[in-house]
Structure 1
Amino acid sequence: MARPLIADIDLDALRHNYCLARDLAPHSRAVAVLKADAYGHGLVPCAKALADVAPALAVACIEEAEVLRAAGIETPIMLLEGFFEAAELERIDALGLWSAVHSAWQVDALLAYRPARPLPIWVKVDSGMHRLGFPPEQLAAQWARLAAADDRVCDLHLMSHFATADSVDPSYFQYQLDIVGAIADELGAPTCLANSPATLAWPEAHGAWNRPGVMLYGSDPLETASDVSRRLAAVMTLRSEVIALRELQAGELVGYGGRWRAARRSRIAVVAAGYGDGYDRHAEDGTPVLVNGQRCAIAGKVSMDMLTVDVTDVPDADIGSEVVLWGRASNGALLSVDEVARHCATISYTLLTGVLPRVPRRYHGG
């Protein structure tokens, strides 16, 4: 019998979430963000599931784009961080990729390169995130250089990234949007601004393109859930089984360091999943799991290959019982990865992208 831990990937749910993002902005097109192995869900299967609905895909780097092209994906692919050295331009040209540009050296490299056909370029402005992008006062000059080189570049778009689109406080979001909006108006530039939270909550940020990311995988990026974000469907279910049971007396300890102490006579289930699979070691006592579709709680520190759960109040829990670490149980009960992340003092992105390769992915639908 194989180790029972598996990541079930519901490709129909992925398509549902993409279509929700698309329908929220009927005057925009939505590029599906598949970076980091599609947020841990599997780059190629997710790309193939979206190939007939998404007009473009986005990845972080050329290595991810090469995997997609090698798998036969012909959909346009955007490099969200652009290229890291001028030598990549030959591969970008050959693979027919779109590229972000955020630094003057990249503009210099583009103008020095003669592509077989003009390259679609998306110019990034730093409107307040202070990671990548041209300072606003430098953007127009760099845009003009690129616009004049129509034998090398084409389809110029303006990009930026919001730091607080997930927040209920709109002040900094509006500050960034005002900066980008003024530049776009001055240049007459089509925009790609809306990430997942802006796609869900800020229609004023919807541009020629939006770029939904984590929402495609069913995670709610908003600080406070909305009626719209509650329509997202979980894509990954991280599923395992009970492999052992222990009867404890009141006062007995569980796990490394004896962090959890039984307050009563207790029944503890040992589950085949641990930080060696990517389940967060920082999960606190009380982190929810579903056993036979019923909510239970982690009891004791997560180990490399196992974790322990208090199933005292689940009398039918037995060897082989289903355990859902996040996602949907066989009885339909749902445990949000966002809720689990809060108990780990992290965000859903780290849990989803952290599921390691030794966990098999099993795909459904699509």
Structure 2
Amino acid sequence: MKSLARPLRARIHLDAVRHNYRQAKHLASPARALAVIKANGYGHGAVALAQALTDEADGFAVACVDEALELRESGIHNPILLLEGVFHPDEIAVVDQAGLWMAVHCREQLEWVLASRPSRPLICWLKMDSGMHRVGLAPDDFAASHARLAACPHVGKIVAMSHFARADEPEHPYTAHQIAVFEQGLAGLALPRSLANSAGILAWPQTHGDWIRPGIMLYGLSPLPDAHPVGLQPAMTLESALISVRDLQPGEPVGYGGRFVCERPTRVGVAAIGYADGYPRHACDGTPVAVNGQRTRLIGRVSMDMITLDLTELPDARPGDPVELWGTTISAHEVAESSDTIAYQLFTGISRRVPLFHHSLTNGVAS
């Protein structure tokens, strides 16, 4: 049972997630789409997201076997791709038993697949390093690796995939370079292709191919610098409440280290959230926050359990009033920019003491 004593919670809007998934597919039609729900659905709750999308998702993508098994054990039967493949040859037996798809991104994984004895053909997503230079087969080795997989009797369908390093910079030529490298490495191979992450879906339509992999856009944010207007809906509202209001005089400091000093008579509110909950400790003075739906600002250093807000222009604000940290009034991008980080980290950094409440207007789900 979830405690309601502390007024902090993250509301997850499942209808928004469904809308964003459909928007990704619409933009890349007729490509199929793997909803990327690794890292507990970017902090939104992977099981609840998968259950909300199960009737329409072409599949899901996670990082590892443990994340996939959590979905299977929750009754999710859609295809699930392991984006990092397996970390040990023994995991292929789990892949086989659970009916998972797996990335193959290095020679070691290739050898493990060839040496395995699954009960049914393995679905392999063969990954090329087109320029990200993390994981992936060298373009010159790709055709030979594909030939070995294709000749293996216990390998089924093969999808060619790669990953972009700078697709969120639409004016930078590196993505075009990666596309060219990928296509050159696939010359003569009639394989389904998967290149486009969220930035690729939005900014590089020539990369849509057969499969897209929407990640951050599934949660309502564009990765592009101009906040690309594509009709995405925020999927998370992180909210708390005021627990204290006081008046301070000019010259009075606020919070640890006295980073903020009042320059005028200032009403200071305290909200129940801090860095132990996942709110960024390095958020600077001026980081936007909303109280009663009205924008104001963070003042003073973020504490473990509390933050301090400027209520001077909100004279009616009182303890108990709602505070939105990000959601529909405050974009997570704004908070991230004020904290020298990215929204991905904000979402995945939400700690376990923040309860997730999943809502759906479509089917009345609330948990």
What is the TM-score with the length of structure 2 in the denominator? 0.96
Q: Deviations over 1:273-332 (max 9, x none)?
A: 00010100010000000001111100000000000000100111101011000003xxxx
Query: Distance between the aligned counterparts of 1:8 and 1:226, measured in 2?
Result: 24
Query: Which residues in structure 2 correspond to 1:179-328 (within 5 Å)?
Result: 179-228=181-230, 231-328=231-328
Question: Which secondary structure state, in structure 2, belongs to the residue aligned with residue 318 of structure 1?
Answer: coil
Calculate the aligned-residue CA RMSD, in Å.
0.9
2:125 is the counterpart of 1:103: no
Query: Which residues in structure 2 correspond to 1:45-194 (within 5 Å)?
Result: 45-149=48-152, 151-194=153-196
Q: Deviations over 1:157-181 (max 9, x none)?
A: 1110001110032400000001112
Question: Which secondary structure state, in structure 2, belongs to the residue aligned with residue 157 of structure 1?
Answer: strand
Question: Which secondary structure state, in structure 2, belongs to the residue aligned with residue 94 of structure 1?
Answer: helix
2:19 is the counterpart of 1:19: no
**Structure 1 unaligned spans of 5+:** 329-333
Q: Deviations over 1:123-165 (max 9, x none)?
A: 000000000100111111111100111x211110111000111
Code of the aligned partner of 2:335: V
Task: State the shift of 1:114 in Å.
Answer: 1.1
Task: State the shift of 1:189 in Å.
Answer: 1.6
1:220 touches 1:338 (CA, 8 Å); kept in 2?
Answer: no
Code of the aligned partner of 1:267: R
Query: Distance between the aligned counterparts of 1:115 and 1:344, measured in 2?
Result: 47
Code of the aligned partner of 1:49: A
Sequence identity (%):
52
2:143 touches 2:186 (CA, 8 Å); kept in 1?
Answer: no
1:331 is aligned to none
User: Which stretch of the first structure deviates more once superposed, 75-84 or 182-191?
Assistant: 182-191
2:34 is the counterpart of 1:39: no
Question: Which secondary structure state, in structure 2, belongs to the residue aligned with residue 31 of structure 1?
Answer: strand
Over 6 Å off, 4+ runs: none
Query: Distance between the aligned counterparts of 1:241 and 1:225, measured in 2?
Result: 28
Query: Distance between the aligned counterparts of 1:2 and 1:242, measured in 2?
Result: 13
2:333 is aligned to 338
1:281 touches 1:302 (CA, 8 Å); kept in 2?
Answer: yes
What is the TM-score with the length of structure 1 in the denominator? 0.96
Question: Which secondary structure state, in structure 2, belongs to the residue aligned with residue 279 of structure 1?
Answer: coil
Query: Distance between the aligned counterparts of 1:323 and 1:32, measured in 2?
Result: 30
- Determine which of 343, 362, 366 is the counterpart of 2:357: 362
Question: Which secondary structure state, in structure 1, belongs to the residue aligned with residue 276 of structure 2?
Answer: coil
1:90 touches 1:115 (CA, 8 Å); kept in 2?
Answer: yes
2:61 touches 2:83 (CA, 8 Å); kept in 1?
Answer: yes
**Structure 2 unaligned spans of 5+:** 363-367
